[in-house]
Amino acid sequence: QLLDEKKDKRLVYLLKQTDEYVESLTGLVKQHQATEKRRKRAERREQRAREKAQADDSSDVRVHIREVATGKMLSVDEAPKAEEVDAWLETHPGYEVVSRDEYSDTDESDADEPIPDPIVTHKDDEFEGLDEETRNRKIIEKARNEEDEYDQKTRRQMESYYATAHKIKEKIVAQHSSMGGGDPNLQLKPYQLKGLEWMVSLYNNNLNGILADEMGLGKTIQTVALITYLMEVKKLNGPYLIIVPLSTISNWSLELEKWAPSIVKVVYKGNKEARKRLEVVIKRNAFNVLLTTYDYVLKEKALLGKIRWKYMIIDEGHRMKNHNCKLTLVLNGYFTAQHRLLLTGTPLQNKLPELWALLNFLLPSIFSSCGTFEQWFNAPFATTGEKVELNQEETMLIIRRLHKVYFAHSYFAD
């Protein structure tokens, strides 16, 4: 019995330490969001300055043109010059001019909005009056059943985190018009709409994340939904980089054609000559989505790394659980992307360093040190002489808890 009590006490320590870790991240998330907002604002100003300089220096400047039905932007070479635009529009019905302010990006507010205080729903402490042994046992039972809000402090911590991380809310209750290519038989399921809403929230709040649905629940389709939504609603026409295993690239290409026929995509694969032929399209940035494999990202990092990607999406992202794997090193060293998304059907790593590697790739400014990440969870025992390696049950309790915060799961389908 003494051993059981000691074990329960240790597990409760770890649960509380995990909750405090989430609470500490709330401030880091605020800093990250503010930094990203300033960076995007600076990029918009630079873009407008470049366009103004072009307009001042030359009468040959080309305007931004969009197809009304699909939201697809014409490439620079396809668009008419400013002096030709009126005549061009007369001969090309169904197109419109996009203002520079709209084209540059969304979210033009120069003021950093304050984070609202979370709305805390107070509940009676169900553990009040219980002795420590009984209280610990009930807390652990709730944690094992994945009941996160086991006391008032935990509720406040979680509500504070979500109020910060998902400050900007955007409800999605119906499928957008460009998804499905107009086919009434191609409809997102309710849980897929929820997954889309979560990913759009990440975009709105300048965060990255992991879509962790089980195989067969449509991670590919939800990703296509995200891209078409951002193109249609946010006017974010790319470029999007999707990196997948060679075994799934054909399926990805088929799903893109089926669900989003208006998207201009480049499937970057094949022999050297085939890839060479695609270089012209890539260098002109005349596409929305580039679909390729891990190997070609490594082989062609010099070419693909020159593009300023709006989104980098990696299928089977759990392969990056080793922080020093070649793909991670190349993507971090050669590629830039405003937003990152990992897809995985097996995300529940059973080692904290593996989980940290995924989180570090997504949000390096927040998850900067693996050592700090691990040490945090041993802190309760550092002064008691009990500092030992976490066992399997303890590690999984921590990881499951962190998953609730950082991952979108297949429980959407429940």
Q: What is the CATH number of the domain that holds 253?
A: 3.40.50.10810
Residues 191 and 277 in one domain: yes
Residues 85 and 195 in one domain: no
Residues 93 and 187 in one domain: no
Residues 232 and 381 in one domain: yes
- Mean of the per-residue pLDDT values of the chain: 73
Q: What is the pLDDT of residues 57-95, one digit of tens each?
A: 555 667 777 777 666 667 667 788 777 877 888 888 888
Tokens of 183: 């086919």
Domain annotation covers residue 254? yes
Residues 98 and 187 in one domain: no
Q: What pLDDT, on the 0 to 100 scale, is given for residue 120?
A: 39
Distance CA 21, CA 10 (A): 16
Burial 250-278 (b: 16+ CB within 10 A, else e): eebbebbeebbebbbbbbbbeeeeebeeb
Of 84, 104, 124, the residue that ends a domain is 104
Report the range out of 196-205, 374-383, 405-414 with the highest average pLDDT: 196-205
Domain annotation covers residue 181? yes
Q: Name the band, by pLDDT with cuts 50, 70 and 90, for residue 238.
A: confident
Residues 238 and 357 in one domain: yes
Residues 239 and 381 in one domain: yes
Q: What pLDDT, on the 0 to 100 scale, is given for residue 56?
A: 56
Q: Which of 142-146, 230-234, 363-367, 381-385 has the lowest mean pLDDT?
A: 381-385
Residues 184 and 89 in one domain: no
- Counting beta carbons within 10 angstroms of the beta carbon of residue 388, is it exposed (0 to 12), middle (13 to 18) or buried (19 or more)? exposed
Is residue 105's pLDDT more than 50? no
Domain annotation covers residue 158? no
Choose between 169 and 375: higher pLDDT: 169
Is residue 202's pLDDT more than 70? yes
* Number of alpha helices (DSSP H) and beta strands (DSSP E) in the chain: 15, 9
Tell me the whole-structure pTM to 2 decimals.
Answer: 0.67
Residues 392 and 256 in one domain: yes
Angle, vertex CA 297, rays to CA 255 and CA 409, nearest 5: 50
Residues 176 and 95 in one domain: no
Of 104, 122, 143, the residue that ends a domain is 104
Q: Give percent above pLDDT 70 in the chain.
A: 58
Is residue 186's pLDDT more than 80? yes
Is residue 256's pLDDT more than 70? yes
- How many C-alpha atoms does 53 have within 13 Å on its Cβ side? 6
Domain annotation covers residue 157? no
Domain annotation covers residue 140? no
Mean pLDDT score, 238-265? 92
Mean pLDDT score, 337-347? 81
Choose between 333 and 18: higher pLDDT: 333
Domain annotation covers residue 137? no
Tally of structural domains, the chain: 2
**Residue 47: CATH number of its domain:** 3.40.5.120
Residues 179 and 307 in one domain: yes
Domain annotation covers residue 268? yes
Residues spanned by the domain of 393: 170-413
Mean pLDDT score, 27-36? 76
Mean pLDDT score, 112-132? 45
Is residue 327's pLDDT more than 70? yes
Residues 91 and 177 in one domain: no
Domain annotation covers residue 9? no
Q: What pLDDT, on the 0 to 100 scale, is given for residue 115?
A: 42
Q: Name the band, by pLDDT with cuts 50, 70 and 90, for residue 318.
A: confident
Of 52, 80, 104, the residue that ends a domain is 104
Strands (E), 249-288: 265-268
Q: What is the pLDDT of residues 133-146, one digit of tens each?
A: 565 556 556 555 55
Placement of tokens 């979560």 in the chain: 198
